[in-house]
Amino acid sequence: LDDVRDDLTDVLISKEQIAGKIGELARRIERDYDDQRPLLVGVLKGAVMVMADLARELRIHIDMDWMAVSSYGAGTKSSGVVRILKDLDTDLTGRHVLIVEDIIDSGLTLSWLLQNLERRGAASVRICALLRKPDAAKVDVHVEYLGFDIPNEFVVGYGLDYAERYRNLKGVAVLAPHVYE
Ligand code: PRP
Ligand code: MN
Ligand code: MG
């Protein structure tokens, strides 16, 4: 059996820490949106775990929809050019939209997405992200609901991948250099 744990160094954020934080964020979101029935927009694929856990923590009515965007083609993450691979099924006119993301790295994906969704006539568009790497920021994005600021290291798990692997880890861990060197 190929043990995934050999590919990891530190567990940066445990599944218990994630669950606690998502509970806190859910309480704030419930209070802020109350009976507004927000539309949660998950960004595939990284956001699936956050969306699944956050949605189940919320004790208010919500809708869920999904977008898939390709950031910067196959190359390195730098250009900021984003393409929509799968668009929303939902009309945003007058809706209160909450974008759900796993991580803000350079910020380019979310700053583009925020503008894109705002132009569709939403009543409000806010961001919920579990992780943010302040030292990797290329653009500033306002995050209303943030889980953790983390160091600029290669992290995987809880939705985050390296070459599509490790998304299924329960916590967030630092990838061992031997995996990508
Ligand atoms: C990752 C992550 C965010 C984005 C953050 O997605 O899930 O969506 O990068 O990077 P940025 O702040 O530099 O734009 P990725 O493009 O790897 O697709 P995935 O969610 O399918 O893994
Ligand atoms: Mn993503
Ligand atoms: Mg990825």
Q: Is 105 labeled as catalytic in the residue annotation?
A: yes
CA 28 – CA 100 distance, rounded (Å): 14
Using a 10 angstrom Cβ sphere, with 0-12 exposed, 13-18 middle and 19 or more buried, the burial of residue 113 is buried
CA 163 – CA 176 distance, rounded (Å): 14
Is the CB of 7 inside a 6 Å radius of any atom of ligand 1? no
Beta-bridge partner residues of 131: 103, 148
CA 175 – CA 19 distance, rounded (Å): 21
- Please give the pLDDT value at position 4: 87
ipTM: 0.98
Choosing from 7, 53, 102, 105, the catalytic residue is 105
- Please give the pLDDT value at position 73: 54
Tens place of pLDDT per residue across the chain (181 aa) = 678 888 999 899 999 999 999 999 999 999 999 999 999 999 999 999 999 999 999 999 999 999 999 876 555 555 677 899 999 999 999 999 999 999 999 999 999 999 999 999 999 999 999 999 999 999 999 999 999 999 999 999 999 999 999 999 999 999 999 998 8
The dotted CATH code for 4-72+81-180 is 3.40.50.2020
Inter-residue contact 99 to 113 (CB < 8 Å): yes
- Please give the pLDDT value at position 93: 98
Amino acid found at 130: L
Question: By alpha-carbon position, which residue is closest to atom 13 of ligand 1?
Answer: 106
Is the CB of 102 inside a 6 Å radius of any atom of ligand 1? yes
